[in-house]
């Protein structure tokens, strides 16, 4: 980014210095100092923009890495939670089957196993 601004700031500085050639004495000195100050300001702004852009990119990369780590660590926890919920649901459904006898109980348990992915 600084490289992109450097030729433009040099060109602007050259134009500003050319405008100073029509002046004399202290007015010319002031004009040249103002042209130099403007060039320094442009260069400093470009450096600051580049460093800010780089820092923002590093921050984005760190955020992306942190999100990926969170996803990786969260997936097993979510899976464990899903298994726990499924097992708890099966336990409730199986308990409800206890009110039946014989073939009805067997059918109820079979349906509960199918619904909650039990073998």
pLDDT confidence tier of residue 6, bands split at 50, 70 and 90? low
pLDDT digits (tens, 9 = 90+) for 55-107: 999 999 999 999 999 999 999 999 999 999 999 999 999 999 999 999 999 99
| Overall size of the chain counted in residues | 119
**The pLDDT value given to residue 75:** 92
Residue 116's contacts (CB-CB under 8 Å, 6 or more residues apart) are 86, 87, 89, 90, 93
What residue numbers bound the domain in which 63 lies?
Answer: 2-115
What pLDDT, on the 0 to 100 scale, is given for residue 18? 87
In angstroms, the first-to-last Cα distance of the chain is: 62
Q: Token digits for 50?
A: 């580049």
Burial 1-11, CB ≥16 within 10 A → b, else e: eeeebeeebee
* Stated pTM of the model: 0.51
Number of domains composing the chain: 1
């Amino acid at each position: 980014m600084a490289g992109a601004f450097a030729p433009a700031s040099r060109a602007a500085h050259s134009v500003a210095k050319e405008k100073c050639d029509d002046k004399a004495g202290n007015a010319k000195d002031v004009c040249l100092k103002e042209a130099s100050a403007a060039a320094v300001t442009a260069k400093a702004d470009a450096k600051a923009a580049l460093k800010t852009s780089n820092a923002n990119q590093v921050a984005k990369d760190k955020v992306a890495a942190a999100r990926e780590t969170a996803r990786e660590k969260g997936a097993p926890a979510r899976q464990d939670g899903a298994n726990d919920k499924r097992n708890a649901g099966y336990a409730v459904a199986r308990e409800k089957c206890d009110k039946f006898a014989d073939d009805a109980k067997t059918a109820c348990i079979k349906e509960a196993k199918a619904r909650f992915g039990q073998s």
